Every structure is written in C-alpha cells, then in structure tokens.
Structure 1
C-alpha cells in the first residue's frame, strides 16, 4: 500500500523538477536574448543619429558648438530613443489591459523606487552611454558592461549584500578587461576623443549599477512589464524636460532645446531607425526583467551582460557590413576583452561549477527514472 502511494509522489516530484528545469533554462534564454537586443538597440540608434537632420548637425558644415554637438545632442538622442521605447511599452500595457495598473503603481512605494531608478538610469546613464558611443564608437559598450560588477560593490555598500571572494575575483576580471579595452584609446592611432568617450562610458556603468541595485527592490513587487513602462516613460520625459533644457541653458540658449527636439522628432529618415532602436530597447529591458524573475537576478544580470560582446558585434554587422559605414571595425584586443568581460560577469553572478553540478544532478535523475 505504501509502495503504491509513494509511486505517484515520486512521479509528481520528478515532473515538478522537470518543469522547474525547463523554466530555469527558458529564463536563461530570455536573459541572453535581452543582451542581443541591446546590441541591436545600440546599432540602430547610432544609425538613426547619422541620418536626416542628425547628419547635418554632426556634419562638417554644422553651425552648432562643440559643447552642443557632444553633450546636448547626446542627451537628445537618448531622449528621443527612450520616448520611442516608452511608446512601445505603453502600447504593450494598453493592449494587455494594464494601463490602470501602470497609473496606480506610480503612487506606491515600489513605484516611487522605480521612478528613482529611472531618473538615474535615464538622464544620467543613458545620456552618458549615447555620448560615449558617439565619441568613441562601439568600443565603449564593454566598458558600460561593468555595471554588474559595480552593482555588486554598491549592493555590498548600500544593502550589505554578500560579496565573497569569487565575486571579488569576477570584479577584478571585469576591471582587467576594461583596461584591455581602454588600452586601444592610448597612442597616436587612437581617434580623437576616444579616451574621453571611454571615461564618459564609465559614468554610464556607475549609474546603471546603482539603478540595478535600487530597481531590484522595486521590481520584486511589481509586474515586470509595468516596471519597464515606468522606467522608460520617466526616463524619456526627464531627458526631454529636465536634462536637455539644462544643457541648452549651459550652451547659452534655452530655446535651443525646443528647436532641436522638434527637428529631431520631425526628421523622418532618422526617426524610422530610432523607432526601431526604441523597440529593441523595450524588448531588451522587458526580457531582462522577465529573465531575472525566471533564473534569478544574479544569473539574469550575467546573461544580459553579454551585450558587451553583442553590442560591438551588432554595430559591426549593421553599421559596418550592411550600411558600409567606416570606423566600426573592432580591434582584436577589444573582442578578446569583451569575452573576458562576459566571463567576469558570469563569475560575479554564480559559481561556474554549479552548471556542471546541475548537469550531473539531471543526469542522475534520468538514470533513476
């Protein structure tokens, strides 16, 4: 009698483990896909910012000052992209009947935490990322992928989270990889402004590391689709109504912010590609949050961090190969460093030996069945 009752329990436990394993693997795939989509977002945004009115602004006959070209246009590119991404996110929650949840969540404590994360990740990090990308090219992408390492350090300082020897080793590996990338900006062959672009990229990594720490608490209590919508809407609006006017004021002409914004949004040949970039950014963030909820935040962050490889690769394919734009070839040392960065991020997130232990456990389970 006991043998008969135990048999269904054993089958149920085995079925539950199989479902959990499939759920876990699906989460890893989704998180990896978020890194790929971030690479395409980087490529299409850069493409859009080379078309239409942007080509005039960045062209040899531009009437804009160096400050406006470097910083105000970088902030504007980030604002236009995040606004397009917010549009896709709002369309998504609208179609799924979650618009009411979006507005209600804004009034809650987790919602306010997400707003704080968006203010750091949007006006600060996203703008620094776009500025660095315009100044130094896709080589800055692996630099910004330091954010998981920075997030681990800030998590220890702010929230007393665990930071063991393995994680510290992973951080050291990431730092070494960033120095490998940075070495390409030293010497007479380095393009003008590359070193400054790489330094600005570190600001993006710092901001995204902080955003990851703060948003981690908020997203544990909010639907990931609602979280992404809050993030993108706040980021786009804060860029448009706060950061761009500040840069315009520093440039000596507050009205320049409105003039440039209207021109950017009305430039059809550029907006086509920036809208595609916004869609890729929306999918990337959505997959990142969803993947984190399925395979764990640490491993999800490591999988998303593979954009340190996918970013330069997608820029090379889209901009260099398909559209024939010069300057998007990647030095060999940067490719190597990008792979090293991914390994360092994985080391921060988990013990690589656990992958083999899981495999052994699954094998033993199949033999037993």
Structure 2
C-alpha cells in the first residue's frame, strides 16, 4: 500500500510561523498590560478612599469603632470598586450583545465554579487586600502578588498538578522576596501595623491563589469575556449585599446610609476609574493567557508586584502629594525579585530561547 505525501509550501510555513510569533508577542504585551492596570486599580481605589466622605469616616470624630474603621470601611471600599467594575462588565457585555450569554452561562456548572471563585476572590481577598493597604501601604502589593506561588502549591494539593524542582525554586525565590519586604519593618518610620497589614496581604494572596485554581476550570469552558462578567458581578453583589451589611451589624452602624453616601459622594469618580481598571485587568489577563499560554500569561500578570507600588507612588505620592507612598530600595528590589520568581514558577526560562531559535530557523 502506497503512502501519500503532502508537500509543504515553505512560504506558507514561514508565514504561519511569523503569524504565531506575532500572536504570542501580542499576548505577552496584553498580559503585561493587565499587570500595569492592576497597579492603577490599586492606586485609584486607594485614592477614592482618601477623598470626600471617606476623610470624615477615617477621622477621629466619625463615631466608628476601631473595627468599623479597619474592616467595615475596607469592605465598603472593595464593594464600591467591585460594584463599579460589575457595572462596567455588564454594560460592555450588553453593548456587545452578549448579556444573554452571561445569563445562560451563570446557570451552568462552570458558571457556578466562577461564582464560587468570585466569592473567594471578591469579598474575602479584596477586603483583605484593602485592609492590608490601609494598614501598611503599597508595600502590601508584592505580598499579595504571591498568589501565583500559592496557586502552584494549592494546585499540587487539590488537583495533583506538577510541582517540580524548578517551580519549587521559583516559590522559594518568591517567599524569599516576601521576607525581604517584611524586613523593612525593622527600623524607623514604618507603619505601626505593618506586620498585621502584611498578614492581610498574604491572606489575599491565598484567596486569589484558590480563585486562580477554580477559575482554571471555569474559564476552560466559558468564554473569558463572559467569565469575567460573572466574576465581577458576583464579587460586587456579594461584597455589597453580604460583607458590608455583616460588618455594619457588628459595628452597629447603618449600612444603607454608608453605601448611599459612598456612591453619591464626589469621590465616586475615582472608584469608577478603579472599577474600569479592575475589569480591564481581568479581561487582559484572560485574553493574554489565551494568546501566549496560561503559564507565561500568569507570570506577566504577576508583574503587578512591581506596578502596584509604582502606580501608588506616582498617583498618590507624586500627583496628589500624599506622604508615605515611597518605598525603600530593598522593597523595590524584592518586588523585581518576586517577578523573576513568578516567571520561574510559571515556565522554564530556557524555553524562551528555544522558541526564539526555532523561529529564526
């Protein structure tokens, strides 16, 4: 029996290779943009919580207890941002004629998985993240960026995913960088609640690591744009309707009145910008993952460990003149070190050179 042979057109092969290279490069740029936008989300949310009625709430004469100031206001800030992000997500889905897809997908098993992930990454992680920011400042951002390392460990425990020596090295680098950041608490001119703030930053990293594991299942079967809409709507509503009322009951204040003030105050413009940044962050993260691979996309997104403090310094420190947003040199070095560790967890750096060699050949 004869064997059929197919002649390959060298020009077509070259064109396909160039197209794949360009597509991958665009994916890397998109994923890197998601990390940058996460920095702006952090900066503008924090800016909103330092303007208008928020200044009164954080003031000594607000009448709020210590619990209310630390936890209720953090939950309300996260809820305001997530709700604005949800409005952006629904508005964009409706504009693109995909709102019906959102309603259908949310009833499916993958949709339910996204809802569970959003509850973990929304009310729990977002509030812990904001508490950490309020206690310790932008130094919390690189700690929260440990989520890829935490996700790799949880993936091994929950789903028996591979955790080889290279990934363990990357995890060790990430945690080493976090200890470098923690060492900044040894000295003068540091926040009084630095260690507590770093703890909440790590709690956010754990919750986002769990969310990442669950979302890996959900987004494998749901279009990323619809998945993000499910995620943002669930996070916004669960923050607004569950966590804020719960903390308000504990703090003995009127939740409805505070929510109404938060959304009608002049500071809302900064939360609207933060909400758009949050939506685009997730959008570009998922899109980047699809274009350049989840491993490389996750590592590119992890650069928010650098962009978070940088954007806070630019927006809050330089543009608006707030003090306390400059980071010591060791924290900048640690943030960049953590980016390297995230890359090592996500992929073998030598693969980049191998692919480049193949593209040139």
TM-score (norm 1): 0.95
Cα distance, 1:58 vs. partner?
Answer: 1.2
Cα distance, 1:62 vs. partner?
Answer: 2.4
1:222 aligned counterpart, secondary structure: coil
Counterparts of 1:55-204 in structure 2, within 5 Å, are: 55-204=55-204
Q: Partners in 1 of 2:22 and 2:183 — Cα distance? A: 42
Q: Which moved more, 1:5-14 or 1:154-163?
A: 5-14
The aligned residue for residue 291 of structure 2 is: 294
Q: Partners in 1 of 2:251 and 2:62 — Cα distance? A: 15
Q: Which moved more, 1:238-247 or 1:12-21?
A: 12-21
Q: Partners in 2 of 1:192 and 1:274 — Cα distance? A: 27
Cα distance, 1:299 vs. partner?
Answer: 1.0
1:334 paired to 2:331 = yes
Q: Partners in 1 of 2:324 and 2:208 — Cα distance? A: 27
Cα distance, 1:251 vs. partner?
Answer: 1.9
| Structure 2 gap segments, 5+ residues each | none
The aligned residue for residue 357 of structure 2 is: 360
Cα distance, 1:362 vs. partner?
Answer: 1.7
The aligned residue for residue 367 of structure 1 is: none
1:334 aligned counterpart, secondary structure: helix
Contact residue 84 and residue 272 of structure 2 kept, 8 A: yes
1:260 paired to 2:258 = yes
Contact residue 35 and residue 300 of structure 2 kept, 8 A: yes
Q: Partners in 1 of 2:319 and 2:300 — Cα distance? A: 27
Deviations 1:140-174 (A, max 9, x none): 00000000000000001111111100000000000
The aligned residue for residue 227 of structure 2 is: 227
Deviations 1:72-117 (A, max 9, x none): 0000000000000011111111111000000000111110000010
Contact residue 64 and residue 251 of structure 2 kept, 8 A: no
CA RMSD of aligned residues (A): 1.2
Contact residue 182 and residue 195 of structure 2 kept, 8 A: yes
Q: What is the aligned length?
A: 357
Cα distance, 1:188 vs. partner?
Answer: 4.5
Contact residue 186 and residue 195 of structure 1 kept, 8 A: no
Q: Partners in 2 of 1:66 and 1:329 — Cα distance? A: 26
Q: Partners in 1 of 2:186 and 2:62 — Cα distance? A: 28
1:191 aligned counterpart, secondary structure: coil
| Structure 1 gap segments, 5+ residues each | 365-369
TM-score (norm 2): 0.97
